[in-house]
Amino acid sequence: MTQERRVVYFYDPECGNFHYGPNHPMKPHRLTLTHTLVVNYGLTDCMKVYRPNRASMNDMISFHTQDYVEFLRDVTPSNMHTFPKEKLLTYNIGEDCPIFEGIYHFCSMYTGASLQAAKYLNNEVTDIAINWSGGLHHAKKFEASGFCYVNDIVIAILELLKRCVKMVKTLGLPLLVLGGGGYTVRNVARCWAYETAVLLDQEDKISNDLPYSPYIEFFYPDYTLHPDLTTKLDNANTKQYIEALRTTVHDHLKQLVLAPSVQFTDVPPDYLDTFRLELVDERDKPGGRFSREEEKMEEVKPLCS
């Protein structure tokens, strides 16, 4: 007999009380109606019901820019006129995405529910998680779009990716695991070593303190498998520099000969993180064999025989 799958349902009774404004097609009140039907059909007896936690500022800036989220926190219908018109245009505030009372709390509610659902799935608390208030997929990194202000889907996916390898492994299918991107060498090495342990069901048996090797200084200053990566770098780019760079790029693009079938439109700018590419001096022999110095390295004993 098939084992019954565990289902959790997230619902905040306040989430349906928000209002985008007269004649706006997006109506959060649909959440209240949905919940009433679910309850009256007796479906809540078949699953666990939770009032979700609210998403914090830090949760939301895991995808969105901090300036944009702070704007959502600070703006209200009564003070919107105090914000520069350019800022409202930058964040795409208008008829589709109006400012309404409690907008930040609304975003915090539905995003918090999606994030908590992802955490429950990652920690195997449940097999299926439902959050009908979530799914606002149009919101972009630094602007609202299509009735959506905070993209809870992306934020939930970022949480789910923490256990991606482990989850795919449980499917029991033939699995090819590859490397790819990642250019901070010490973090790539830690990540891939940990995921190797996950694939071997050894993640709970390896120490967070890195074992000694001739390359241990690459992992200065913490020498741990799971370092604290919460520190964020300040964006030192000025608006003047970005605008000058944008103008230069556009001037170069104007010199390109376009194919008739290709549309050439301006894409809204974004602030991208820059990554320092660390090059490794390859000294391996032809054929991919180790050098003699590497062959003399002390043999690492396997975790399992």
pTM of the model: 0.70
Q: Tell me: do 219 and 246 sit in the same domain.
A: yes
Which tokens belong to 190? 């830690």
Using alpha carbons only, what angle is made at residue 264 by residues 259 and 269, rounded to the nearest 5 degrees? 145
Please tell me whether residues 12 and 161 are part of one structural domain: yes
pLDDT over 60 (residue 260): no
Concatenating the DSSP letter of every residue in the chain gives -PPPPPEEEE--TTGGG----TT-S--THHHHHHHHHHHHTTGGGGSEEEPPPPPPHHHHTTTS-HHHHHHHHH--TTTGGGS-HHHHHHTT-SSSS---TTHHHHHHHHHHHHHHHHHHHHTTS-SEEE-TT---TT-BTTB-BTTBSS-HHHHHHHHHGGGHHHHHHTT-S-----------HHHHHHHHHHHHHHHTT-TTTS-SBPPP-TTGGGGTTT-BSS------------HHHHHHHHHHHHHHHTTSPPPTT----PPPP--PPP-PPPP----PBTTTBPPHHHHTSPPPPPS--
One domain, residues 115 and 224: no
Domain-ending residue, one of 133, 165, 197: 165
Burial class (CB in 10 A: 0-12, 13-18, 19+), 6: middle
Q: Is the pLDDT of residue 183 over 90?
A: no
Q: Which of 29, 138, 226, 250 is catalytic?
A: 138
Specify if 170 maps to a domain. no
Higher-confidence residue of 278 and 159: namely 159
On the question of a cis peptide bond just before residue 302, with omega within 30 degrees of 0, the verdict is no
pLDDT at 287 > cutoff 80: no
Same domain, 52 and 161: yes
Same domain for 122 and 204? Answer: no
Kindly state whether residues 108 and 142 are assigned to the same domain.
yes
Domain termination residue (choose one: 116, 141, 165)? 165
- Alpha carbon distance 236, 271 (integer Å): 11
Last residue of a domain, one of 112, 143, 165: 165
Q: Is 262 contained in some domain? A: no
| pLDDT tens track for 33-85 | 999 999 999 999 999 999 999 999 999 999 999 999 999 999 999 999 999 99
What is the Rg, in whole angstroms, of the alpha carbon atoms belonging to the chain? 25
Please state the φ and ψ torsions of residue 151, each to the nearest 5 degrees: -85, 90
CB 116 within 8 A of CB 10: yes
Please indicate, yes or no, if residue 280 is contained in any of the structural domains: yes
In a domain, 30, yes or no: yes
Co-location of 159 and 201 in the same domain? no
Closest CA to 93 of 133, 134, 141, 149: 149
Question: pLDDT tens digit string along 99-120?
Answer: 999 999 999 999 999 999 999 9
Residues 17 and 118 in one domain: yes
**Same domain, yes or no: 182 and 44:** no
Q: Is the same domain home to 36 and 182?
A: no
Average pLDDT over residues 242-246: 92
The mean predicted confidence, pLDDT, of the chain is: 86
Same domain, 145 and 181: no
User: pLDDT > 90: what percent of the chain?
Assistant: 74
- CATH code at position 93: 3.40.800.20
List b or e across 115-132, with b for residues whose CB sees 16 or more CB atoms inside 10 angstroms.
bbbbbbbbeeebeebbbb
Residue 285 forms beta bridges with which residues?
A: 289
Does residue 2 lie in a domain region?
Answer: no
For residue 256, being part of any structural domain is answered with no
Cα–Cα separations (whole angstroms), residue 50 to 110, 123, 154, 203, 277: 13, 16, 22, 30, 45
Check if the beta carbon of residue 139 is closer than 8 Å to that of residue 63.
Answer: no
189 assigned to some structural domain: yes
245 with 120, same domain? no
Q: How many domains does the chain have?
A: 2
Range of the domain at 193: 176-250+274-298+301-305
The larger pLDDT score, comparing residue 284 to residue 147, is at 147
- What's the CA gap between 247 and 42, in Å, rounded? 60
Q: Is 24 a catalytic residue?
A: no
Q: Which two tokens stand for residue 142?
A: 């630094």
